[in-house]
Structure 1
């Protein structure tokens, strides 16, 4: 089963990293951004990849971990006209956007399609004690549900914990569907 990852920044790149390290081999990476120096403190990219498309660099990084993985990378701005078709071949979708409007669009687009969506909410700041999970319909949300990146700094340890929890939920949802 292919796992779709919509947005491969701090959350998406680290969920992908965790999935491949856990043995998952089928991913579809979708994003339109390029790597910036400000990404390097929390995203699975390297300084020599600055300026490259995130999907292409992440695919390369993941294949270094597992050369036999089947990783599709799309440089694409997701919107209402292409979001469903972009993930039609995926059994689980990870939401990794930093834009509330795009997050909402993805979750709502798959709400009635019986495709699990694993999302994040409240990834900023230091506090790990409040990180938890909630399930609403086909969507599972991981985070502290309050600390927005507009209100606090983004730090690698918290993002890594949330991404690992999201990867765990992806793997559990895959097991449930088998």
Structure 2
């Protein structure tokens, strides 16, 4: 049976400080790209009690996604926005979810994401990553971007870390490995990087609410 909203709230209150829970419950976060990074970022934020997620992708779930993304066999062929929404509903049925199924371009990025104080960049291609980051930095002065860069292969996961590049840009990853040079995307390092991005989002939410880290 599905838990009631009150039961879900009580479960969060039992595990998080109330001030923090209130901050994340009122937070609005966008996730651009719902592949290995974005699907796991969204799952982690839902589990952490973030109240509103905006999920953006143009693609469908393929069998080649299953080695590192949050989806299962039952999601094959579905738009990633649809599949991830269903998955998140199994985790947090009262989560507010907005989706957009389409390509993000330099022309529509600011309109799509300008209303969100935090945007997770989780695209695959370097040129798409650069486009989104540059557009949001230039056109959305109130938006903070948490980007992923460098998580391919099965090298030392301790090399993956979070760097503050400028006031409104954080980059998570090792900053060097990509899918070239014989490197593939493996579940462990992708998940580590996604965890770094999700954790940075929670730190930003707490900071914006005036909650100091221990």
> Which TM class, normalised by the smaller chain length?
over 0.9
Question: What residue number does 1:164 align with?
Answer: 195
1:122 and 1:149 in contact (8 A); partners too: no
2:86 to 37, 60, 66: 60
Q: C-alpha distance in 2, partners of 1:68/1:159?
A: 27
Contact 2:117–2:142 under 8 Å retained in 1: no
By how many angstroms is 1:25 displaced? 2.2
User: How far apart in 1 are the matches of 2:117 and 2:142?
Assistant: 9
Judge conservation of contact 2:41–2:198 (CA < 8 Å) in 1.
Answer: yes
Whose relative contact order is higher, 1 or 2, with alpha carbons under 8 Å and at least 6 apart? 1
2:110 alignment partner, one of 84, 98, 110:
84
Structure 1 Cα separation of the partners of residues 65 and 164 of structure 2 = 29
Whole-Å Cα distance in 2 between the matches of residues 83 and 105 of structure 1? 9
Moved over 4 A (4+): none
The corresponding residue for 1:25 is 51
SS in 2 for 1:111: helix
Corresponding residue pairs, total = 178
Post-superposition offset of 1:114: 3.2
Q: Counterparts of 1:24 and 1:150 in 2: how far apart (Å)?
A: 35
| Alpha-carbon distance between aligned partners in 2 of 1:167 and 1:132, rounded to the nearest angstrom | 12
* TM-score (structure 1 length as normaliser): 0.96
Contact 1:125 1:158 in 2 (8 A): yes
Q: Match of 2:22?
A: none
Q: What's the RMSD between the two structures over aligned residues?
A: 1.0
Q: Which runs of 5+ in 2 are unaligned?
A: 1-26, 210-214
Helix, strand or coil for the counterpart of 2:158?
Answer: coil
Q: Secondary structure at the match of 1:110?
A: helix
Q: Match for residue 129 of structure 1?
A: 158
